[in-house]
Every structure is written in structure tokens, then in C-alpha cells.
Amino acid sequence: MKIGRQEHRSSALSTSNADTIVVRGKDLCRDLIGQVSFTDYLWFLLSGELPQPAQRRVLDATLVAIAEHGLVPSVQASRMTYAAAPEALQGAVAAGLLGCGSVILGAAEDAGRLLADVVARSADSDPESAATAAITTLRVARKPVPGYGHPLHKGEDPRATRLFAVATEAGLPDAHRRAAKQIEVLLPAITGKSLVMNVSAAIPAVLLDAGFPLGALKGVPLLARTASLVAHLLEEQTKPIGFVLSNAAAKAIDYDGPVPPGFVRGDS
């Protein structure tokens, strides 16, 4: 049964024969292994070109910035999954990644699309009008402004500040960083709240300024968080807290549904 469009019947990523593995036109063993860093290789896989030094530095910085964030829900899901199935490290990593969405990690892609929209609108109007129009479009659709506001970092997100500094030090153009700052300036008047830029807006701002593809933005925090999940699961092997987390959840949540006559709640 034919499902979906099927006019594309080729891939430009890799091929091989008995002697050579080719990735994006380069010999994997001769040209890449031991010759480029993983950050270089990620950029190369996505674009077919090795990154310039400024591009490498910014991509590397974003991966470091977002990898570890403590016992967020996705990490808890990963550690509890490993506690229940220690034979399946890959399943526990997958559980953590499946818990990454619009609230945790996924906002980088949405914020990137917002910034790209502002930059595109700026071609026909001044930056303030462009940002106002983009924010208004989100507000009319009853959508949040992605990448702004943080429950802990109220004055500034130090990761965002540092990423902007790295991008400036690297000499990158700043169209998307300026758009991100313009949105931050306008939000109090438009929303009535002072919502500072968080790392999920800073990551796409610096990456888009570096020429990173918009469609791959979500992959950066996912790739970074994978490294952190593996670290949490290694720790889980020697300092297991998966069942501690599970038990803490059971104690924290009360049952408020119906019970049979004579039922007496037991200790849990």
C-alpha cells in the first residue's frame, strides 16, 4: 500500500562498499575518524560542510549549556525506567528523551521559529515593529512566547548571557540575537509581565546567527541531554534513586477517588 509521497528514492548522507565507508562525500576512516571532533561531525552531517571556527565554538557552547539540568521530569523518568529495567539502558535513555517536549527542551525549536519570523519581518519594517507583530500573532493564537520566562532565573538566565557573549566573542553576525533582545524589551508592555530570555531562546539565537539549520534546532538539546541521561544512568547503577523517586511520588500524591464501604486507608 502506498502511503504518503514517494518521489524521493535516494539519500545523500552515506554509502559504502567492502573497503570504504562514505559519509557526505568523505571517507569516514581516512578523513573523519581522528580528524574531526564530534561537534564538527554533527555540523558536517547536517550541512555537508565542516564548520568554521566560530560555528564550531557556538554549537559546542550550546551543547554544554543545555546538557545537564538536574532531576527534571525527563531525567526522573529515565532513572525510574532504569530502576525497573536495568538490562535496557537504551530504554531508559529513550524514556528520558520521550519526556522532552514544549516545556522541557522543545521550546528551542519554537523560539527559533519566532526569531526567524522577527528577522524576516524586519526586512520590511523596523525591528521593534517586526517583533511586536510576531508577538501579537502568538498572543492572538493564545500561544505562549517561547524561550522567555524562567521559574528560577528571574533577573537573567546566566546561560543565555554567556551564550550571547560566546557568539559575540566568536564574531558572528547578530540578527537573531538582536531579535531576541528586542522581544525581551517589548514583553513587559505587551504581556504585563517581565519575562527574561531563557536558554531556550538563547540557543536558537546564537545557532541561527551561526548559520545552523532551523529544522535541526530541536536536535541540539536532545543530543546534549542524551549525554546527561547516560551520566544519570551510570550514577543510577551505583547510587540508585529510581525507586526513591517513585516512592516520593506515591507519598506526595493523595487519593481522592471513591472507596468501597469500610475501606480504611493504609500507610504508604
Domain ranges of the chain: 20-51, 53-245
Reported residue count of the chain is: 268
- R_g of the chain computed on alpha carbons: 23
User: How many of the other CB atoms lie within 10 Å of CB of 32?
Assistant: 17
> 543510577: which residue's cell?
236
Q: What is the pLDDT of residue 151?
A: 60
CB-side exposure of 34: number of CA atoms within 13 Å?
A: 3
User: pLDDT tens, 89-127?
Assistant: 999 999 999 988 777 777 899 999 999 999 999 998 899
Q: How far apart are CA 214 and CA 184, in angstroms?
A: 21
Give the CATH number of domain 53-245: 1.10.230.10
User: pLDDT tens, 174-183?
Assistant: 999 999 999 9
Cell numbers linked to 79 = 532513572
Q: How far apart are CA 10 and CA 215, in angstroms?
A: 20
pLDDT over threshold 80, residue 154: no
pLDDT over threshold 60, residue 88: yes
Residues 100 and 225 sit within 8 Å (Cβ to Cβ): yes
Helix (H) or strand (E) segment spanning residue 15: strand 14-16
Question: Vertex 47, ends 43 and 50: CA angle to 5°?
Answer: 50
Cell numbers linked to 220 = 541540539
Spatial CB neighbours of 220, under 8 Å, sequence gap ≥ 6: 59, 62, 63, 66, 108, 203, 207, 212
